[in-house]
Structure 1
Amino acid sequence: MKYKIVTVIILVNAIFGNCHVTSKTKNGDPTTSMPLVNQAQNVSDIKSGEKKKDLVKIFNLNDSPVYLDDVLFSLKNQNWTEEEQPCLHTTLLLLHNLQNFTLWAVWNWDAISSEPQGLLYGSRFQLGNFDQCMSAPWYKNQPELRTQYCLADIVLERTDKPVKKRISDPFDPYQSALNLLEYQSVFRRPLNELTWGVCVPVVCQPKSVERLMGTLLAHSHLGTAGLRAHISVNDPCQRADKSMQFDGLFFAFIGVMGSLVVTALICTFIKFKKKELNDNKIRDNIIVAFDIKTNANNLLKQSGEGLEVFYGMKFLTICVIVSAHQYGIFNGGPVSNGTKLDEDILTILGMIFLHEDIVVDTFFLLSGFLTATFIVRAKKLPNLFYLFVKRYVRLVVAYAVVIFYICAIFPYTGSGPLWNRAIAGDTNQCRKNWWLSLLMLSNYIDSENICLVISWYIPCDFHFFILTVTLYWFYKRCPTAGKILAIFVTIAAVLTPGIINYIYKLPAIQLFTYDFITNPRGPLQFHMTYIKSHTRYAAYLIGFFSGYLYVYCAASDNFNKIPKKWSILGACLSIFVMGVVMFTGPMFLWRSYDVLESAVYAALNRPVWASSVALLVMCLSLGQVPLIKSFLSWYPWVPLSRLSYGLYLIHTVFIARNVYVTRNPQHHDYINIMTYCLGIVCEGCLAALVIWLFAEAPIINLLNICFKFSVNKQADAKAAENTSTNEEKYKTFNRSHIQDNLPTAIQIDSSKI
């Protein structure tokens, strides 16, 4: 009986003890409790309920101050320097008010991710709530409560020294989680690296922020294993009271583009009102050059050279490149399922994204092909200087507009936890090396700071055009020596990438792994073989030779048509070889490295791809391949293909903007990627259309006007010189004849002869 009474007393004390949730902390601050009104309401609801005899569960909120007390104790017992004292005092005040559940303190602390989440599944970015940190309602009236948002980069390493052994299954559930954190793979992202966003008082310096992040990390679940954390705050913290100021470049861009738009609108209006214009007047030619309707119609013109398949091939190629860049840039940003992305690399679709860089060689081949068809069909070789200038202007106008936009406007188009870090990757480099880009030297000089990573293609194309046209000019002057030189250059173009790979022991190709997409300017291979003109020339040369062969076959009566059977067979063979090249490249990720094998593949994979594309072009243009030929020759591809250059230049800017304004990690799946790609293609085409109508087409037209009147002036001068010479000869002949045969009494007025 005594034991029963004791048991009842203990239960009564436990029940009444749990009903009271207010207490004192060791610092003497009252903690927050559940309001008594709510407690009474809950008790009355329970009493009126059906289950009156059920035991009521009361949630004890006093467990949370234990965490805050530990944080306070840890912060107080660190060696803070004199300049860090204001940050310490403000942070302690924040934590004390947080224990009191004061609004401003809870608001600021609520904007912080209390501990990393999803790190083992590849969620590297722990960003908290950026907008809550930056947009408190009282910031304008209470400046002492202002905070700043800082990003800390953290690298974790284990403090114990386990026996190193090969891990066959990094996801063995019964092993230590430390093994997974330190697991390294050539295509998997490192799981021991994270970027953590924190909302701290404005008086805190980067060193103080590192202390706070170290304390929070130590009290998280990652601190239970004794991990050592290397924390660094390298980027300037963002403050709500420091908005970005518009600089001179911003207003210069607005002024230049605004002037071009106004000029185009005025010229379009004048041309609309004035139906007939004189082609021999410079003023009327300038009006036509800026006419929006004329320039828009030029996008719709279809050439009848038998190469209509180029339109579809060109636009679909840029769509593949956009999708690959969307996949890569999205993968390098905040994603919640990064581990799943890494696993997808081993799938067929993932391997396509790994080696999508080979698709760019299609552009080189098409460019060389068109160069050959133009220059070979010319009855007389045009002036080389005019050709080079026209090619330069064709490439540089849209390029300059995009660089100008990145330097002047792009920094103001977004905000977010990662925004300043992201735009610095392109804006700073473009502001520093814009002149190298416009001089077509960016892929050779200071390529570590190349403006707009994808722009390496442009100087390569320009260099290829100059060198190829010069070689053809030399061939026309000295056929035998020209052929020998062409053979030598072709062999050198094919072997050079392999030789460089062999000397420097580089990987077979530059694969788009996680390390590369997060830092594309970093790898040695990117600068040694990927962006250099002398290592990418083979595809352009193959295109030029293919174009030369096409012109010869099209003009011949015997080779101007390929039988349907052979054209289908050739098309199937070319597609098969392209697939082999595409899927064999990623296999070097899990093959043991062999320097000779890698060098051979580096030398041959791009020429083989280009030859396959050339074979497909020849079969489609000179033969009959049902469905494929009609699909690629579809008329809507015509304007889209002409906008593909502008789309190529601008699409990564739009992708980066969409990825780095995100506030939280995004879930990745292929439906989302496809949706994003469609949006980027549409936005990019609209931007390319604007650049074409108001900048690219007018400036190209003005250049043609300069050449037109320059040539006309030279022709007129030459004609006048010939006329003057003939007239002088006529005068001399008639004067001598008349003077010899007429009587001397008759005076001859030579001016009237």
Structure 2
Amino acid sequence: MIFFFGTLLEQLSDGPNWIHAIQHHQTNARENWWKSLLFINNFSNSASFQTWFVAVDMQLFVFFLIILTFNAKYPQYKKFIYAIITAISILLPPLLANYYNLVYNTLVQSESLRYMEYQYIGYNVKVLYTIYSTVGIYLFGIITGEIYMEIKRRTNHKSFKGVFIYEIGWWILYVAVSILPSFKFKSVEDNPALSSLTSHILCNIWAVGYCILILGLTFKLGGIMRMGLSSAFAVKMSRIVYQLYLWHMAALYIIYGYIRQPLYSNDLHFNLRFILFQCVAWSLSFILTLIFEYPINKIFDILLNKENMIGSENSKSK
């Protein structure tokens, strides 16, 4: 992807807005490629701005590997450590936002793609694109896994399907977390600390809600939602969503790079562009999954199986 953004992307279109949309991505790919390889590109602009989370995800993985290892050796400190991590996730971002006087509001204008990173580079690098901004969400996922294993151990993976109170509770929670992102507090938008604090509190509440929903799905709650997510079609589509995450911005740039005339958007134009974007993004992700991800995974499977076979043969000889 870094090579694509640094060399090939500029050749795919030539509209009047094209150079303004992709120039900074090309520059970032050429100058900061080594940061992406080391998974530290969240500390500066990367080839495609959504890939900051790839770096953060790797950093969180390493961090929680250390935490879980420590908890396994000293389980008496686990609750205390989890409480400290949750407090850091909620309180540290607004404290930093207030210290640096950083306020983040989403731009909605024609040059958003060009200036979004640079307009809020201070907030992004110092607050949003950091592990302490998302460490609470990662922690809630780990706690959800621990709760699942404990319930499974105690109930022998009992199904709660058909139990009215659990079924209706799951759907009420689903509606609640679905509308939660629409909540905005305009009175605090100009206050760095309060705007960041409210956004991170809502984000952590949203994460806890979805963790509970996922936990419910594992015990067969959710009705038609669970049937859809576990269908053969959804399972197959899930195998290319990572490539979709990596390449959807490239598809968006390519589509809008061909615009020649002034853009007068209406509902029909927006919906048609959205459908076109989905077709291009999913097709590109499918092709790249077949060309790169599957063969690379197969090579790693062969190498790992070979090492396991060698290890088993050595153990048998001993």
Distance in 1 between residues matched to 2:144 and 2:107, nearest whole Å: 30
Counterpart of 2:27? 428
Correspondence for 2:251 among 633, 651, 654: 654
Between structures 1 and 2, the one with greater helix share: 2
Counterpart of 2:154? 556
Native 8 Å contact 1:520 1:526 kept in 2: no
Task: Measure how far apart 1:440 and its partner are.
Answer: 0.6
Task: Measure how far apart 1:676 and its partner are.
Answer: 1.9
Distance in 2 between residues matched to 1:459 and 1:469, nearest whole Å: 15
Return the letter of the residue paired with 1:511.
T
Q: Percent identity?
A: 19
Native 8 Å contact 1:407 1:431 kept in 2: yes
- Say which SS state the counterpart of residue 13 (structure 2) adopts: coil
Native 8 Å contact 2:228 2:234 kept in 1: no
Larger CA Rg, structure 1 vs 2: 1
Distance in 2 between residues matched to 1:670 and 1:469, nearest whole Å: 47
The answer to whether residue 121 in structure 2 is matched with residue 526 in structure 1 is no
Native 8 Å contact 1:646 1:684 kept in 2: no
Correspondence for 2:169 among 560, 569, 579: 569
Counterpart of 2:36? 437
Over 3 Å counting, the alpha-carbon distance change for 1:677 and 1:551 in structure 2 is farther
Counterpart of 1:496? 92
Native 8 Å contact 2:42 2:55 kept in 1: yes
Counterpart of 1:511? 106
Native 8 Å contact 1:571 1:619 kept in 2: no
- Say which SS state the counterpart of residue 468 (structure 1) adopts: helix
Distance in 1 between residues matched to 2:137 and 2:55, nearest whole Å: 15
Distance in 2 between residues matched to 1:624 and 1:481, nearest whole Å: 33
Distance in 2 between residues matched to 1:403 and 1:599, nearest whole Å: 31
Return the letter of the residue paired with 2:106.
L
Distance in 2 between residues matched to 1:474 and 1:634, nearest whole Å: 38
Distance in 1 between residues matched to 2:306 and 2:64, nearest whole Å: 28
Task: Measure how far apart 1:592 and its partner are.
Answer: 6.5
Task: Measure how far apart 1:643 and its partner are.
Answer: 0.8
Distance in 2 between residues matched to 1:516 and 1:417, nearest whole Å: 16
Native 8 Å contact 2:177 2:210 kept in 1: no
Task: Measure how far apart 1:512 and its partner are.
Answer: 4.2
- Say which SS state the counterpart of residue 625 (structure 1) adopts: coil
Q: Which runs of 5+ in 2 are unaligned?
A: none
Task: Measure how far apart 1:539 and its partner are.
Answer: 1.1
Task: Measure how far apart 1:684 and its partner are.
Answer: 1.8
The answer to whether residue 55 in structure 2 is matched with residue 459 in structure 1 is yes
Counterpart of 2:310? 713
Task: Measure how far apart 1:683 and its partner are.
Answer: 1.9
Task: Measure how far apart 1:708 and its partner are.
Answer: 2.2
Over 3 Å counting, the alpha-carbon distance change for 1:501 and 1:578 in structure 2 is farther
1:128-143 equivalent positions in 2, closer than 5 A: none
- Say which SS state the counterpart of residue 536 (structure 1) adopts: helix
Task: Measure how far apart 1:672 and its partner are.
Answer: 2.3
Counterpart of 1:479? 75
Native 8 Å contact 1:497 1:602 kept in 2: no
The answer to whether residue 130 in structure 2 is matched with residue 535 in structure 1 is no
Native 8 Å contact 1:502 1:595 kept in 2: yes
CA RMSD of aligned residues (A): 2.4
1:225-304 equivalent positions in 2, closer than 5 A: none
Listed one character per residue, the Cα deviations across residues 360-395 of structure 1 (whole Å, up to 9, x for unaligned) are: xxxxxxxxxxxxxxxxxxxxxxxxxxxxxxxxxxxx
Between the two proteins, the alignment pairs up a number of residues equal to 313
Native 8 Å contact 2:5 2:47 kept in 1: no
Distance in 1 between residues matched to 2:241 and 2:304, nearest whole Å: 27
**Which portions of structure 1, spanning 4 or more consecutive aligned residues, are displaced by more than 4 angstroms?**
515-518
- Say which SS state the counterpart of residue 143 (structure 2) adopts: helix
Distance in 2 between residues matched to 1:566 and 1:718, nearest whole Å: 49
TM-score (norm 1): 0.39
1:348-367 equivalent positions in 2, closer than 5 A: none
Distance in 2 between residues matched to 1:715 and 1:558, nearest whole Å: 33
Distance in 1 between residues matched to 2:192 and 2:48, nearest whole Å: 31
Distance in 2 between residues matched to 1:540 and 1:437, nearest whole Å: 21
Return the letter of the residue paired with 2:312.
A
TM-score (norm 2): 0.88
Task: Measure how far apart 1:653 and its partner are.
Answer: 0.9
Distance in 2 between residues matched to 1:591 and 1:488, nearest whole Å: 26
- Say which SS state the counterpart of residue 521 (structure 1) adopts: helix
Native 8 Å contact 2:159 2:219 kept in 1: yes
1:61-80 equivalent positions in 2, closer than 5 A: none
Native 8 Å contact 1:490 1:538 kept in 2: yes
Listed one character per residue, the Cα deviations across residues 481-516 of structure 1 (whole Å, up to 9, x for unaligned) are: 444333322332232222222323333x54344375
Task: Measure how far apart 1:459 and its partner are.
Answer: 0.7
Which structure has more relative contact order (CA 8 Å, sep 6+)? It is 2
Native 8 Å contact 1:460 1:532 kept in 2: yes
